[in-house]
Structure 1
C-alpha cells in the first residue's frame, strides 16, 4: 500500500518530466532535419541568412579579364607610370585609351583582382599628385570643393559626382538604396525630374570643409567613390548636351544659350567664319555640327565645337561649368581620399562591383541601374569624339591637353589622333 501511495503522490511529477523529455527530443530531431535539409529554413534567425551573405562576385556577375585601366605612356621626364599587366589593349580610332571594353571573361571568384585594380588606380593617382606637388604645379584645393561632395549618412557613402560621367544615373541609384518609402521615392522623382540633385537632398548633405574633415575622422567604414571619364570624351559630351542644342521651345529662353552659347558666338564667330567659311554654318551642314542634332534644336546662332574650345581655352578653370570643369578642380582627388575609382568607359561592368561595395548585403537588390542621357547617335564614343576633334588644330588639342593634363595622368588616359600622341612619349 505504501508503494502505491508513493506512486500516486509522485505520478504527476514523473508525467511532467516524461513530457518535457519528449518535447526536447522532438526539438533536437527537428533541428537536425533543418541542418541537413534546405538552408533557407535556418533555425537561428539571428545569423545572416545565406542569401544575405555579402558575396561581391555574385553581385558583379560575369566580368572581363583585362583591366579597364588605360595604358599610360611615359612622359618626357622619364616618369614611367605603372601599367597593369592585365591590359594590353589600345583603343581604336582616336586612341582614347581605357575606352575599349575588355574581351576576356573574369572568373566570378577573382574579385581580388578587381580590388587589385582599384589599388592600381589609387597608386597611379597618388603618384601623379605627388609628382605635380614636388614640381610645384599641383593646383591649390579650394575650400569650396567640399561642397561638391554628396554624403549619404545612412549608408556612410561619400561621392563626388563628376557631371557627364553617369552622375544622373547614380543620383537615382542613391535614391533607390535610401530608406525612404517607395511612395516617397516616386514623389521625389516626379517633383525633381529636371533637377536630380534636389531629388536626394532629403537624405544627403553637402559638407563644408570643416564638417567633412570631422565626419571623415569620426565615422568608420566610409565608402567613398568617384566615377571618372576621359577628359576629351567628357568635353564633347558636355558640348553636345548643353551647348550644341537648345532645350526650351524658344532659343532665347534656354539657360545655356543665355549664359554660354550666345556670348561664345558673339566672341568667336568672326574668327570661325574666317577659318571655316559661311557654308560651314549652313543648314545643309547641320549649322556646323559634325552630326545632325535630334529634334531640330540647333541653328546658326549656336556655337560650333571649335568656338566652344576657344572659350574653354580662354576660361579660368575655377569659372568653368561643372559639366566640363576638370575633375582635379571639382573633386580634388589629390586631397580627398576616394576608395573606389570607377572608369566610365567600363561602367556597365564596374557598376556591378560598385553596387556590391555600396550595398554589400543586397538589401535593395531591386535597385536597378538605368542609364540616363545615353549616346543615341549610333556611333562609338571614340568615333564621335574623332568627328569633333577633327575640326581642331594641333595647337587647339595641345592647349586642351594642358588644361586637362592632371586628369589625364591621374586616371591613366592617353590620346592619339593623326600625328598627336598625348602624353608625349
Structure 2
C-alpha cells in the first residue's frame, strides 16, 4: 500500500507541474474536514462514498446533524495544511457521474424532485425543442440530456451543494495545492477504507462499514452504451484533468463500454 501511495502521489505531482489551470487562487474550501484532536484533514467528494465518510467523521467528532469543523476558507499559511495528515478519496469520473444521475435524477424520490426543480426546466428547454412543453409528475431527464447539459455548461461554474456531485474532482479537492498524504481510490474501497483508518490510528474509535458494490458499476454498460461516441468524447474531455491527475484511463472506460456492447 505504501508503494502504491508513493506511485499515485508522484504521478499527481508530475501532472500538477504541467497544468496551469489548477494552480489558481482558492477561497472557498468547504469540502475539507478538520479534526484537531487527531490532526487530520479529510477531503470528501460527493459520490465517492461521501455518506459513509461523513458518518465516520461525525462519530469521530462526537456530533450529529450538520457537519462541523470544516476548513471553509483556504489559506496557504494555515499551519494545519503542513502538519496534519491529509486524506483524499477519488473515483473514476464516468462511474461517479452515472452514480450522481441514478441517485439524483432517476431515483423517483424527493431528492429527484429537488434536482428536477433546480435543473429540469433548463435541461428540457435546451434539448427538447419545445419550451412550452408541459411536463408530468416527473420530468424524466435522460442520461443523454444530463451529459449534454454538463458538457455544454463546462466546468467554469461556481460550486454549490448540487453541482458538486458532477464537477471535476480536482475542483473539489485542489490536489495541486493540498499535498495529500493518502490518495484513496473508490474502486478499492473495501481495502483502502479500513486501511486508512488504521493508518490514521483511529480504527479503535471508528470503523469502516462493510462495502456494498455500487449500482453504477453494475449498470455502467447499460447506461453508457446508448451515449454517442461524439458525446462520450466531450465527456472525457470535460473530465480530462481528473483522468490525468488521479491515474484513471478513459481508454479503459471506452473498452469496457465497447466490450459490453
TM-score, normalization by structure 2:
0.84
SS in 2 for 1:150: strand
- Counterpart of 2:74 in structure 1 is 209
Shift of 1:247: 2.3
- Counterpart of 1:305 in structure 2 is 143
Shift of 1:311: 0.1
SS in 1 for 2:45: coil
- Counterpart of 1:132 in structure 2 is 19
Shift of the 145–407 alpha-carbon distance from structure 1 to 2, 3 Å rule, reads farther
**2:3 is matched with which residue: 106, 116, 138?**
116
Whether 2:182 is the aligned partner of 1:340: answer yes
- Counterpart of 1:369 in structure 2 is 208
Shift of 1:371: 6.2
Shift of the 177–209 alpha-carbon distance from structure 1 to 2, 3 Å rule, reads closer
Shift of 1:116: 1.2
**1:172 is matched with which residue: 30, 55, 64?**
55
Please give the alpha-carbon distance, in whole angstroms, between the structure 1 residues aligned to 2:187 and 2:256.
24
Shift of the 387–154 alpha-carbon distance from structure 1 to 2, 3 Å rule, reads same
- Structure 1: stretches of 5+ with no match in the other structure: 1-113, 193-197, 272-297
Please give the alpha-carbon distance, in whole angstroms, between the structure 1 residues aligned to 2:189 and 2:242.
18
Of stretches 152-161 and 117-126 in structure 1, the one that deviates more from structure 2 is 152-161
**2:94 is matched with which residue: 220, 232, 235?**
232
CA displacement, residues 372-418 of structure 1 (integer Å, 9 cap, x when unaligned): 9964x5xx71x522111112111111111111011111111113436
Please give the alpha-carbon distance, in whole angstroms, between the structure 1 residues aligned to 2:212 and 2:257.
30
Shift of 1:331: 1.1
Kept after mapping to 2: 8 A contact 1:166/1:371 = no
SS in 1 for 2:77: helix
**1:397 is matched with which residue: 208, 214, 232?**
232
Q: How does 1:246-285 map to 2 (within 5 A)?
A: 246-248=108-110, 254-270=113-129
Shift of 1:244: 2.2
- Counterpart of 1:65 in structure 2 is none
CA displacement, residues 72-121 of structure 1 (integer Å, 9 cap, x when unaligned): xxxxxxxxxxxxxxxxxxxxxxxxxxxxxxxxxxxxxxxxxx11111100
Please give the alpha-carbon distance, in whole angstroms, between the structure 2 residues aligned to 1:159 and 1:141.
21
SS in 2 for 1:144: coil
Please give the alpha-carbon distance, in whole angstroms, between the structure 2 residues aligned to 1:323 and 1:229.
12
Kept after mapping to 2: 8 A contact 1:166/1:344 = yes
- Counterpart of 1:410 in structure 2 is 245
Please give the alpha-carbon distance, in whole angstroms, between the structure 2 residues aligned to 1:328 and 1:399.
18
Please give the alpha-carbon distance, in whole angstroms, between the structure 2 residues aligned to 1:213 and 1:246.
45
Kept after mapping to 2: 8 A contact 1:262/1:302 = no
SS in 1 for 2:30: helix
Detail structure 1 runs of 4+ shifted over 4 Å in the superposition.
Answer: 371-374, 418-421
Please give the alpha-carbon distance, in whole angstroms, between the structure 2 residues aligned to 1:235 and 1:371.
23
CA displacement, residues 249-272 of structure 1 (integer Å, 9 cap, x when unaligned): 9x7xx221111123212221239x
Kept after mapping to 2: 8 A contact 1:223/1:357 = no
- Counterpart of 1:162 in structure 2 is 45
Shift of the 312–401 alpha-carbon distance from structure 1 to 2, 3 Å rule, reads same
SS in 1 for 2:128: helix
Please give the alpha-carbon distance, in whole angstroms, between the structure 1 residues aligned to 2:14 and 2:33.
26
Shift of the 164–329 alpha-carbon distance from structure 1 to 2, 3 Å rule, reads same
TM-score, normalization by structure 1:
0.53
Larger radius of gyration: 1
The Cα RMSD (Å) is 2.8
CA displacement, residues 183-218 of structure 1 (integer Å, 9 cap, x when unaligned): xx5xx2xxx3xxxxx1x31xx1324122x632336x
Kept after mapping to 2: 8 A contact 1:265/1:302 = no
Shift of 1:177: 2.5
Please give the alpha-carbon distance, in whole angstroms, between the structure 2 residues aligned to 1:373 and 1:239.
19
- Structure 2: stretches of 5+ with no match in the other structure: 131-135
